[in-house]
Amino acid sequence: MIPQAPKGTDDILPPASEGWRRLLRGFEDLAVRYGYGFTMTPLFEATELFSRGVGVETEVVEKQMYTFEDKGGRSITLRPEATASVVRAYLGSGTQGVFKGYYAGPMFRYEQPQSGRRRQFYQVGVEYLAEPSPDADVEVIEVGYRLLQQAGITEVTVRLNSIGDPADRAAYREALVAFLKDRADLLSDEARSRMSSNPLRVLDSKADASVVADAPAPLDAICEAAAAHFAGVVAGLQRRGIPYEISPRLVRGLDYYNRTVFEYVSAAYTAAQEALGGGGRYDPLAEMLGGPPVAAVGLAMGVDRIVLAMPKFPPGGPDVFVAVADPARREDAIGLVAALRDAGLWSEMDLGDRSLKAQFKVAGRRGSRLVAVVGDEWSEGLVTVRRMSDGEERPVAIEEVASWATNR
RNA sequence: GUGACCGUAGCUCAGGUGGUUAGAGCGCCAGGUUGUGGCCCUGGAGGUCGGGGGUUCGAGUCCCCUCGGUCACCCCA
């Protein structure tokens, strides 16, 4: 039997990979224009980074990590997300002050695969470090919004909430636990067990939605400073014309968040895993990792989901397909293809020994715009060029094929 | 981790109650056209019926296990 790709992983091949290519390219251009620098961190990290940074009580750390021991006896984990790594790298690099970085790459989470949820999945994201201004939150949210726009995804809205500062969360947590305790018999088993470990998570549980509907909201319990920050974010989004809706029940599954949390949804994408991206402010993270306090805000976009939601792109084709009419001219044809490529054109030929007819079939299937036939007329310095859309043909001087093709 | 459905050629699928050499369409390759695609015609290649075990004289078809897929829960990008 041929080995299969591991469960929950995907091979991304052409022509389907075209959407991925465009999205990744578009993201790089976008991030660079907003001033974020290319950032790469390891795909695997010491397990401790995630247990401390992401939080031991979170689902991600509790049961979704790919963790193994390496040959040196170290506990290693394939990264389930990139933010902790970027902050670790920042703290360890001696970098001072503001840092803006973007990243793109695969993440790993041991989960049951379904639509929009894979064991290896791709994220692109930005992190804006050492900038406490709510305008940094706004800029980060804007980057994600623009990415979705330029990917052709319509009806995008930003769901927005504030979960306050750590002290607010502690107080709120008590109030929420009290509320949940009164209704414990109505809750699902998971919700009950989560009451002690991570009660905020009960808020966005689908099974407990009706019970939680009139629970106190984090937004009502935040301190003055956090409320002012939130107001600043809202005002900024309005100024930037980014559509948002305040979602009092929105919380994030990772422990490091404070204040602003957000996610992107689109009416054009309606799988159960509906968030196309998400993020928030995570001022506590640097200290959780043992560093000095560093204000921070960032986002991660789910590339797999975005590609699912994107319009499909018709595959492109070669500008000039070179066909060999006389096998003795094969080397000349190879030379012509190389010359066309040097001239910046997409040029191909069939390297097998197929008949001219078969070569035309291949050319047609590949979506070639023009086919240049290398045959007897080569000795007169000519090739026959056929326009595939209407079949019109004409002789063209060999050295003029490139310029001729560029203008047609 | 839980549940439902599913797994036959490269792709989409047929294969009543188990019974001779497992089929179709599309795709692929070649030819019909001695230098030409998209339409048409002819021919061809291609399958350990996801894998393993069991029941049976006989299993693609029944049973068990396993791997994988899809969707949902959970959770998240």
pLDDT, tens digit, for every residue of A156-206? 999 999 999 999 988 888 888 888 888 888 887 777 777 777 788 888 777
pLDDT digit string, tens, across residues A247-278: 988 988 788 899 999 999 998 888 888 899 99
Work out if A57's Cβ lies within 7 angstroms of strand B: no
Q: Is the ipTM of this complex over 0.85?
A: yes
**Residues 228-247, chain A, CB closer than 7 Å to nucleic strand B:** none
Spatial separation of the C-alpha atoms in residues A215 and A176, rounded to whole Å? 7
* Closest nucleotide to A390, Cα to C1': B38
Helix, strand, coil: what percent of chain A each, to 5?
40, 20, 35
Closest C1' nucleotide to A123's CA: B77
CA distance A229 to A168: 14
- pLDDT value of residue A198: 77
Measured between alpha carbons, how far is A86 from A52 in angstroms, rounded to an integer?
14
Whole-number distance in Å between A382 CA and B38 C1': 26
Average predicted confidence (pLDDT) for chain A: 92
Quick one: A370 exposed, middle or buried, by C-beta within 10 A (0-12, 13-18, 19+)? buried
pTM beyond 0.90, yes or no = yes
Q: Residue A224: count other Cβ atoms within 10 Å of its Cβ.
A: 7
Name the DSSP letter for residue A204.
Answer: G
Rounded to whole angstroms, the distance from the CA of residue A1 to the C1' of nucleotide B58 is: 27
- In this complex, the answer to whether residue A60 has its CB under 7 A from any atom of chain B, a nucleic strand, is yes
- List bases, strand B, within 7 Å of protein CB: 1-3, 28-31, 33-38, 48, 50-51, 67-77
| Bond from prior residue into A15 cis (ω within 30 degrees of 0) | yes
A215-247, pLDDT tens digit by residue?
A: 888 898 899 999 999 999 999 999 999 999 999
Q: Write down the pLDDT at residue A15.
A: 85
Cα atoms found within 13 Å of the Cα of residue A71, Cβ hemisphere only? 0
Give the span between the Cα atoms of A96 and A279, in whole angstroms. 23
- A155: CB within 7 A of chain B nucleic strand: no
**Which pLDDT belongs to residue A1?**
67
Using DSSP bridges, classify how beta strands A382-387 and A277-281 pair: parallel, antiparallel or unpaired.
Answer: unpaired
Question: What is the CA A387 to C1' B71 distance in angstroms?
Answer: 46
Q: Per CA to C1' distance, which residue is closest to B33?
A: A357
What's the pLDDT score for residue A58? 79
Tell which residue, A31, A67, A72, has the closest CA to residue A49. A67
Instruction: Give how far Cα A97 sits from Cα of A48, A93, A128, Å.
Output: 26, 12, 11
